[in-house]
Amino acid sequence: MQGPDERGYFGEYGGRFVPEVLVTPLQALEEAARAAFDDPSFWAEFHRLLGDYVGRPTPLSTAANLTAACGGATIVLKREDCNHTGAHKIVNAIGQALLARRMGKKRVIAETGAGQHGVAAATACAILGLPVEVYMGSDDIERQALNVYLMQLLGARVHAVTAGSRTLKDATNEALRDWAATALETAYIIGSAVGPHPYPYIVRQFVRVIGDEARATSLERFGRLPTHVVACVGGGSNAIGMFSSFLDDDGVRLWGVEAGGRSINTVGAHAATLEAGTPGVLHGARTLVLQDADGQIAATHSVAAGLDYPGVGPEHAQLKATGRVTYTTVTDDQAHDAFELLARHEGIVPALESAHAIAFACHLARGLLSDDLVLVNVSGRGDKDAVRLAQTHLAMTRA
């Protein structure tokens, strides 16, 4: 597995495209992160919290009923929904909060889309005694009301962002503005493997525990590695965490699943950056971006708030360029069907983000042999989505 070069690039993607006021804070963050990563005591505390507080390692579950329903390959689930707070986001939040405390920061900020990173950041800061403020688009606040309440319950102050599309992109903009003005005392806990260097590298180093666990358990239980690994991709943290441990295994095919929304062929009706994006700069990094011919950021749509983002982490852009990971799309309707399918056959209610990966994994499995193993990352649980879907179901029933 290759890290970024000395400039923070993965191939032609990455870097640090920020106002001058953020150059020094980013350099300080990089120095602090590299020192922490070389310190065994830092990792000891990180893994202690993951074990004693978060509840890792998460299970690797053979989905026998889903396998029978889909036919073909055996489907195996990496159960990130079993984490404390219900998603993989807590792993990155704990790591970055420990780094913030190590740097002596007195205040933490974060951005969130689906709310899972906001809840994770609030949780990590609660256990470590750090005050936290979370930026969230007003549209996402409406569709993820449960997570907003949980953030507030955990002691976070939630800022509603009403600019632009009122979703994750705009929440990230506001968090970066805050950090630019307050960087001396503030740590910005970014929620995905995106942003200016060193954030994509830092996030990957924390979330790679997902793939490390999955790889080790697969070898222990099955005596071999999976033939296919599948994860959903918005900004890309759960996917890069899962993929990172398999990148050097040529016999393992890696699949990233983006939000096809209502239509991949209509601008503003999807969030498939790797499928339809072009090189550009977003939130401090050169990556693939959904944009028009003039470089203006395009509108996006996904039924899953955590995938509703017009960019992607720069390492994913490079993995697409090299062909090591194949990226594909799943529509809103297909994700909703997979949401119900997993619940009915396995008693697991996935996040709508994760349901995109489940939908593609089922499609993939049907064309494979029973000896093949399809490992899919269930990046989070669907409590946050169930309330909204229940309201829609009730309205349809009454109609």
Q: Return the higher-pLDDT residue of 395 and 38.
A: 38
The answer to whether residue 130 scores a pLDDT higher than 80 is yes
| pLDDT at res. 240 | 98
The residue that leads in pLDDT, 54 or 383, is 54
Write out pLDDT tens, residues 72-121: 999 999 999 999 999 999 999 999 999 999 999 999 999 998 789 999 99
Q: Which of the four pLDDT bands, split at 50, 70 and 90, describes residue 167? A: confident
Q: Could you tell me the pTM of the whole model?
A: 0.95
pLDDT at 386: 85
- What average pLDDT does the segment 272-291 reach? 97
How does residue 299 score in pLDDT terms, banded at 50, 70 and 90?
A: very high
The arrangement of strands across the sheet holding 278-282 comes to: 9-10, 13-14, 285-289, 278-282
Bigger pLDDT: 223 vs 398: 223
Per residue, what are the HEC states of the chain?
A: CCCCCCCCEECCEECCCCCHHHHHHHHHHHHHHHHHHCCHHHHHHHHHHHHHHHCCCCCEEECHHHHHHHCCCEEEEEEHHHCCCCECHHHHHHHHHHHHHHCCCCEEEEEECCCHHHHHHHHHHHHHCCCEEEEEEHHHHHHCHHHHHHHHHCCCEEEEECCCCCCHHHHHHHHHHHHHHHCCCEEEECCCCCCCCCHHHHHHHHHHHHHHHHHHHHHHHHCCCCCEEEEECCCCHHHHHHHCCCCCCCCCEEEEEEEEECCCCCCCCCECHHHHCEEEEECCEEEEECECCCCCECCCCCCCHHHCCCCCCHHHHHHHHHCCEEEEEEEHHHHHHHHHHHHHHHCCCECHHHHHHHHHHHHHHHCCCCCCEEEEEECEECHHHHHHHHHHHHHHHHC
User: What pLDDT does residue 143 have?
Assistant: 80
Domains, the chain, with CATH or none? 9-50+89-200 (3.40.50.1100), 55-86+207-398 (3.40.50.1100)
The answer to whether residue 242 scores a pLDDT higher than 90 is yes
d(CA 379, CA 365): 19
Residue 388 confidence class, pLDDT cut points 50, 70, 90: confident
Is residue 397 predicted with pLDDT exceeding 70?
no
pLDDT in the model for residue 344 = 97
pLDDT at 165: 84
pLDDT, average across residues 286-309: 94
- pLDDT (mean) for 237-251: 98
Specify whether the CB–CB gap between 339 and 270 falls below 8 A. no
Which pLDDT value is given to residue 395?
A: 54
Confidence bin at 341 (pLDDT 50/70/90) = very high
The whole-number average pLDDT for the span 394-398 is 55
The mean predicted confidence, pLDDT, of the chain is 95
Q: Please, which pLDDT band fits residue 390 given cuts at 50, 70 and 90?
A: confident
- Positions annotated as catalytic residues are 89, 111, 379
